[in-house]
C-alpha cells in the first residue's frame, strides 16, 4: 500500500544535500552560584521565637553553629536543638 510512497520519499531525501548535514549546538556550561547562607543572630533568634527554625537549611544552621563555636555534627534536628539551647542561655 505505502510502498510507492516510501520509495518516492526515499528518492526525495536522497536528492536533498541538506539531509546529510547534522548540526548540534555546543553545550553551554552553567554557572554554579553559592546560595546565601549568612544569617545574623537576630534573624535566627526571631525564627526561634516564631518557631520557624525548621525552614532553615542545614548549611545555614551549621554556619551559625560555627560562628558560635557550637558542634556542627548531627542531623538537622540536633543542630536546631543546639541552637535553641544556645539562644535560651544567651
Identify the residue whose cell numbers are 563555636.
Answer: 69
**Residue 63 neighbours by CB under 8 Å, 6+ apart:** 37, 38, 39
Confidence of residue 35 (pLDDT cuts 50, 70, 90): low
- Whether the per-residue pLDDT at 33 is higher than 80: the answer is no
Read off the pTM.
Answer: 0.60
What pLDDT, on a 0 to 100 scale, did the predictor assign at position 78? 96
Q: What's the pLDDT at 85?
A: 95
Return the pLDDT at 30.
75
Best CA proximity match to 60, nearest among 49, 48, 44: 44
What is the spatial distance between Cα 14 and Cα 37, in angstroms, rounded to a whole number? 59
pLDDT at 29 over 90: no
Per the CB < 8 A criterion, the answer to whether 76 and 65 are in contact is no
Q: Is 45 exposed, middle or buried (0-12, 13-18, 19+ CB in 10 A)?
A: middle
Of 26, 38, 28, 87, whose CA–CA distance to 62 is shortest?
38
pLDDT tens digits for 47-74? 999 999 999 999 999 999 999 999 999 9
Amino acid at each position: 500500500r505505502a510502498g510507492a510512497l516510501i520509495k518516492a520519499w526515499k528518492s526525495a531525501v536522497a536528492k536533498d544535500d541538506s539531509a546529510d548535514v547534522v548540526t548540534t549546538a555546543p553545550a553551554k556550561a552553567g554557572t554554579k552560584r553559592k546560595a546565601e547562607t549568612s544569617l545574623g543572630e537576630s534573624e535566627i533568634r526571631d525564627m526561634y521565637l516564631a518557631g520557624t527554625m525548621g525552614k532553615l537549611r542545614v548549611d545555614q544552621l551549621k554556619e551559625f553553629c560555627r560562628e558560635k563555636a557550637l558542634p556542627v555534627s548531627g542531623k538537622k534536628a540536633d543542630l536546631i536543638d543546639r541552637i535553641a539551647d544556645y539562644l535560651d542561655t544567651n
